[in-house]
Amino acid sequence: MRVITGLAVLTAAVMLGACSGVEYRDTNAAVDARPECASGPTRPGETPPAWCERKLEAKWDSQGASEKVDFKKKDDER
């Protein structure tokens, strides 16, 4: 019974994953590259500039609006 349940969960995950995508963004390298972001705020309570803010983001897209691939065309026709 566990095999059937596991297979059903695996099948559902594969089917849902085929129509979606994840975009991952990380600003740590860009912040580290800017010398003005290394010192931090000079006064207590001062917020750092927006370009010095470190962000980790992941956006999930389940629209499935990708272009279709035509496998019938030859390489030189594209």
Quote the CA–CA distance of 3 and 1 in Å, as a whole number: 5
Quote the CA–CA distance of 43 and 60 in Å, as a whole number: 38
**Can you give the pLDDT at residue 18?**
60
DSSP letter at 12? H
On the question of pLDDT at 23 being above 70, the answer is yes
The single residue listed with the structure tokens 């030189």 is 76
More confident residue, 6 or 57: 57
More confident residue, 41 or 58: 58
pLDDT in tens, 24-53: 888 889 888 988 888 777 778 888 888 888
- Smallest Cα–Cα separation from 28: which of 46, 51, 58? 51
**Can you give the pLDDT at residue 66?**
63
> What global pTM score does this model have?
0.42
